[in-house]
Amino acid sequence: MESLFRRSMRERFPITIIYESKHGKFSQRTILVLNLNEHSILAYCFMRQDLRRFSIDHILSAFPSRFHQMKRSKRRSAG
pLDDT tens digits in sequence order for the chain, 79 residues long: 899 999 999 999 999 999 999 999 999 999 999 999 999 999 999 999 999 999 999 999 999 987 654 454 455 554 5
pTM metric for this prediction? 0.80
What would the 3-class secondary structure string for 3-63 be? Answer: HHHHHHHHHCCCEEEEEECCCCCEEEEEEEEEEECCCEEEEEECCCCEEEEEEHHHEEEEE
pLDDT computed for residue 1 by the predictor: 86
Enclosing domain of residue 28: 2-67
Residue at 72 is within a domain? no
pLDDT computed for residue 48 by the predictor: 93
Residue at 46 is within a domain? yes
12-24, pLDDT tens digit by residue? Answer: 999 999 999 999 9
Rounded to the nearest angstrom, the gap between the alpha carbon of residue 53 and the centroid of all alpha carbons in its chain is 11
Burial of 7 (0-12, 13-18, 19+ CB in 10 A): middle
Q: Are 55 and 39 in contact (CB under 8 A)?
A: yes
Q: Which residues pair with 28 in a beta bridge?
A: 18
Here the CATH number for the domain that contains residue 40 is: 2.30.30.100
